[in-house]
Structures are given as C-alpha cells and as structure tokens.
Chains A and B, each alone.
Chain A
Amino acid sequence: MFDIIEDGDKMDLNQKLEILSAAAKYDVSCSSSGSKRSSKAGSLGSVSAAGICHSFTPDGRCISLLKVLLTNYCIYDCAYCANRKSNDTPRAAFTVDEVVNLTINFYRRNYIEGLFLSSAVIQNPNYTMEMLTQVLQNLRTKQNFSGYIHVKAIPGASQELIDKAGLYADRMSVNIELPSDHSLKLLAPEKKKEDIFKPMKQISTNITAHLAERKKFKKAPIYVPGGQSTQLIIGATPDSDLSILSLSQKLYDKYSLKRVYYSAYVPVNTGANLPAIQNPPTLREHRLYQGDWLLRFYGFRAEELLNEKNPDFDINFDPKTNWALNNLQLFPIEINTAPFDMLLRVPGIGVRSAQKILSSRHLAPLNYEDLKKLGVVLKRAQHFITCRSKYHGAVGLNETNIRTVLRPKLDLNIADNPYQQLNLFDHMRDAKMQPAVIFPKHFQIPQKLLLAEDALTSLTGEI
C-alpha cells in the first residue's frame, strides 16, 4: 500500500489536483456561510456570515471552497461511490504541505473562500482523521489562516480526534448518503449506521457545550461555529421522499443541523444492487429541496407534506401547491388580514413577498394590482387568496379545476424518468400497430427540464 502512495508522490501537483478534486465533486455542499470572523492584524482571511460564491461551474453549481480529497485510496467498497476500492481509477494523495500551499495561494488570489477537506478512508478511520486534522492545524496555527474551513468527520474516528478537528473548523459534516438502514446494508455493508450518527451527535453536543461555556467565559474557544451539515443520495435506493424528508426533519430537530443536502444519484458505477439509470433524477432532487425549504423557513412539518398514502412528491406540482390543494378547506385567505405564518403557506407567496405584504398593508390596505408589484406569483396565488374580500381566481375554488390550470403542459414525470428515454411509439410497437399520427422528425421530449418559475435555491448552496 505504501508503495502505491509513493508512486502518487511523483505525480505533479496539477495531476493530483485534477484527480482529487474530481473525486470530491459529488459532495454537493459548497456553502461558506453560517460563521463570521473578522481578521486579526497580520493574519490572512476573514469569514462573512452570508457566504461568498467565487465562481460557477458549467453545471451551475457554485465554487466557494477549494473542494478536494486528501486522498482517494480507500479501504471501503461502497457500491455507489466513485472511489470504491474495486474501481480502477487513478489514485493520488496530497501531502499536508501541498494542500496548505494550494489553499493559501488560491485564497490570496481571491479564487476561493476557504477549504473543503474530505478524504477517502486510508488505513483506518483514525489515521485518516488525524491527517485531516494536521492540515487544519497547520493552516490555522502556522499560516495564521482565518478563512473558512469545512472538514469531514470520518465515521468511526475516535472522539478525541473529532473534538480536536472541530476547534479548527468552521463547519463539520458527516455524510449519511443512504437514507435507511436497509439501503446502507445493501450498498455500503462495511459502514455501520451507529458510526455515522455517533460523530454527528458528538459534534452537536460539543457545539452546545462550547456555546454554554462562552456565556460564562468570553474567551472560551468556539466549536464549529458554522454548524454541521450532511448529504443524502437521491435515487440510488428505493427509499421514498417521505422517509428522506422525515429523516431530514429529525436531523434538524435533534442535532440542529444547518443543512441537509440532496444529491441526485449520478451513475458512476454499475453493480447488482444499483439501479441502471440514465439521467440523475434532478427534478426529484429539486422537489426535495423545495420540501426542505418548507421545513426550515415556512414552518411546515414533513408529515403535513407527505404521508403513507402519498409517500412521494408529485413531480408536476411544487410541494406547497400540492399541500394547499389537499387542504383547500383552509383557503381562500384574506391578504389584508392574514397572519404572517398563514401568508407563508399560500402557493406563490415566498418569504420576501410575505414580508412586503406585511410592511405595505401597515400603511394602507392592498389592491389586487399591488400584489404583482410586491412579487407575488399570481399564477398560483390567485386561486388561494381574497383581496379586500374579493376572490380573483379564474376557475373557482375547486381542486380539479385548479390542478388542470396549474399542471405543466408537458408531464414532467416523463422528463425526469431516469430509467429510459421514452419512445412515443413504444406501446404501439408491442401491439404491432401503425402510428396514427406522424410526428415530425425533430419532435422529442427534452431530457432535462427546469421549471421557469421555480427559484433554483437548491443549486446555489447558500444559507
């Protein structure tokens, strides 16, 4: 094993960077937010609470941190992972100095906001965690670096090592990846559920303890000021949206996580236990992010949005519209009197437009025409509100009618179907029938659709 690593050392920095950042790219988290620190004299760097994006890749995701693995030599063989032991991919390992050097120099050129350091598990979890901590220690103490650092806690590493890393990092994360025990056994049999949740619990306890300490002693050290996050893979296993969202809700409630990221499964491997999909299910991922936002900023609970009867989001409607249509007895609500938390529950009204409504109606009651000026999406909102007691919906307060108007012209289930490219004539071929309509040759179903009116919050990675 050591021989291989020495081979890696002969590689030039550029090659290593290419291999180890490509290996880290499936980790979605890139946010540099949640922590704030101004610079001390003579030290390099600062952290801004809102986070800063430095660039955007062709897939539309932001580059905020230098996202690399320390190494992609791995002792595990998780079915879904690009770095699994049995894969024949180029392997490399950074030295501590190389990572430090890259981080500092990228930072000085304002390419990045800080470092996102993760690693495959080399030798054993403790050894890996210790290597990661060395990089952090070097950056913070030798280089006086006070930019953002996000570090992975390696499941199975000892408590002391995780405690130590947390004193240097702004954010720590443990990736759950697979949303249920069953899926974990299927795709990552070497990992144990307890190993994943133990460090998570530990970090959250540490954060609370250090915060309490700081109330007593102003100079007590801060522990992971940016909080912790995690990631779940969507579509690699048959888990329902309900089980995924309930898990997220538990994580927010119990461990006060800052973010749960969802990552549409990109088929990097093939295997008996893996689904043979063609496209990552990005629309499903998008709906889950919308659901996640509803949990965190709109006061919804997972069990309101989904239930055993409907365990998955309807791809054609956003989760809030779907909820409103299932609870039509609560509507319409009067814009000029409804409380803030009820305004937030109207489809087409977001946090910002709800605030604007509150602020403007403070001076004078609002007209229907005003709503558009405030940024309310009337296409959806009109069906659920009254304005000065007048109902403006075009089709009346009736579930079937509203569904018909709001349904996208093209069924998005087809566009997001990850399993196959549908052929319009499939069913006819079976029956050996001639097609009744001849479509022009260029007619095809677009494979990746974005919903025009949906803000793609999921991809900016902030907050």
Chain B
Amino acid sequence: MKEYIYDNSFDGLLTAIFYAYSEKDAVRITKDMNDLPNLFYEKVTVITEQDKAERVYTSLNSKLSYETLSNVYYLYLYNDPAVDTLILSYVKLCFKCSSTINLAKNNDIIRTVDKYVRRVYGEAHRFHGFVRFKEVAPSVFYAQIEPDHDILPLIVSHFKERFSDQYFIIHDLRREYAIIYDLKEAYFKDFSIEEGKKIVLSSQTDCFESLFKSFYQAVTIEERKNERQRRSFMPKRYWKHLIEVK
C-alpha cells in the first residue's frame, strides 16, 4: 500500500493523481503539511511535473466536465487531511461512470463531494462579508481572517473588483499568507503572523470602528433577541476578527 505525498500545490495534487490512478492496491494521497508517520503505508514523495499535471487537468475538463474539474479544485481547498484520497476516488468514479454520475445525489462519494464543495463555496461567500478592513495608513487597508478552508483564491477577484482604487491586504493567519493588491494587480504572498502584528501595532485607531460598533448596537431589536440564530449565521469562531463583536 502506497501513500503519495505531494507539495501542497494544485499541480502537485494532479501529478499525484496521475501516478496513483493506476495503482491496484489501496492508496492514499496526502498533502506534505498533513503528513504523519504511520506503519502501514509505503511513502512515495511526488515531484510536481508540469506536463503530467496538465494532462490530468485537460482530461478532467474535456473528457469529464468543467463541473468535475471545479469540484476537484474546491475539494483541494477543503481543510481535511483525508480529502486528497477522496479526490482520487471521486476522479476514479467519474472516469468509470462518465461525469453523469454527478447527478446521482444518492451516491455516497458524490454526496460527500457535494457536501464539502458546498462548505468551501459557502465559506468563501461568507468571507465576502466577514472581512473587516482597518485603515492602517491613508487609503491602505489591512484585514485579518481565520477561515476553516483555504478560501483566499476564491475571494480575490471579488475584492479586487470592488476596491479597485484602494491598496489592501487580506491576511489568512491560519495559513500565513495574504492577498496583496497594489492598485494594478492582486497577488499572493507568504505573510507571517508577526508581520501582521507589526502592521496592527504601528497603525492608529480607526474612528469608523467605534462608529460601526454604535451602529451594530443601535439596530438590534431587543424584544426579538435570538442568540442561537445569530451564531448559526455567524459562528463564534469567526468573531475574533469581527470588530463589532470583538
């Protein structure tokens, strides 16, 4: 039994699928950062090969469907060590039954895939709203987030389009990288927690934060208080970076 370890990149995942696909035995694929020692699997380190990745990419897109390919990408962003092996079984299933198998919402693999994809998609949508910028210098905005899944690649185009005339940084503290936008282009860059702390400490208080807090207090209807409802829409784990409830 083999376990393919790849370098956390999407191309790496596709290369791993390329090699693991024809394997007869039970096989696992794992991201390098989730790699744990175990006795049962023989570890194989996958070196990303651009041409192999491209082959898998095009065949997912043309032989199966764009939907299948995009599902694979969303799953790749999902935060669970076992998800890469699920991706392999999903791809295998699709090649076996053609991409119409995606319609079988009662199939266990399809069901799990749909569930995970919805979670990633849903969280990305949530974070269109849950990012709180702080003006750290005139017209320079900085936000910290800690999403469950790796959603920065999914929200970048939204923020770039909306705030096209202001510099901004959206910092994912969990994965220690950030979107940086410089009025021309948005790009990803490794960004440590310490660097983030420095930015926050060196900035002044933003008077609109307290104004927004007052607004938040004022629009609440006391007679209709419903804490459970609030938590289901805005789970407590996100509150750390939401200035109105911090």
Q: Show the binding face of A for B, using Cβ within 8 Å.
A: 13-14, 17-19, 21-22, 24-26, 38-39, 41-46, 48, 50, 52-64, 66-67, 102, 105-106, 108-111, 113, 264, 266, 279-280, 282, 356, 359-360, 362-364, 366-367, 370, 373-374, 448, 450, 456, 459-460
Contacts and interface: CB of A to CB of B under 8 A. Distances in A.
Nearest to B170: A110
A22 B103 contact: no
B37 interface: no
B194 interface: no
Contacts, number: 167
Interface stretch (B8-16, B52-60, B131-139): B131-139
A108 B141 contact: yes
A99 to B, nearest CB: 12
Contact of B161 (A39, A54, A363): A39
A359 B103 contact: yes
Q: Which of B103, B165, B218, B219 has the most CB atoms of chain A within a 10 A radius of its CB?
A: B219
Interface string B214-228: 111111111111111
A57 B132 contact: no
A51 B143 CA distance: 21
B208 to A, nearest CB: 5
A113 B165 CA distance: 17
Nearest to A279: B223
B187 interface: no
Q: Which of B135, B215, B233 has the most CB atoms of chain A within a 10 A radius of its CB?
A: B215
Nearest to A62: B233
Given A18-B218, A24-B219, A108-B133, A57 B106 contact: no
A371 to B, nearest CB: 8
B158 interface: yes
Given A63-B216, A374-B106, A448-B226, A266 B221 contact: yes
B204 interface: no
Interface string B229-240: 110011000000
Q: How large is the interface on B (under 10, 10 to 19, 20 to 34, 35 or more residues)?
A: 35 or more
A356 B220 contact: no
A111 B132 contact: yes
A373 B106 contact: yes
Contacts of B141: 108-109
A360 B103 contact: yes
B211 A356 contact: no
Nearest to B226: A60
B198 interface: no
Contacts of B131: 110
A53 B129 contact: yes
Majority DSSP secondary structure for residues of A touching B: loop
A280 B214 CA distance: 25
Given A38-B161, A111-B212, A56 B105 contact: no
Contact of B224 (A52, A54, A266): A266
A373 B218 contact: no
A46 B219 contact: no
B162 interface: yes
Contacts of B133: 108-110
Contacts of A18: 214-215, 217-218
Contact of A52 (B108, B128, B210): B128
Contacts of B245: 55
B18 to A, nearest CB: 28
Given A25-B218, A25-B219, A63-B219, A280 B224 contact: yes
B166 interface: yes
A83 to B, nearest CB: 14
Nearest to B222: A59
Given A61-B221, A106-B215, A366-B106, 17 more contacts: A17-B214, A17-B215, A21-B215, A42-B164, A52-B125, A54-B130, A57-B221, A59-B220, A59-B226, A61-B224, A111-B208, A266-B223, A356-B105, A359-B103, A364-B104, A373-B108, A456-B229
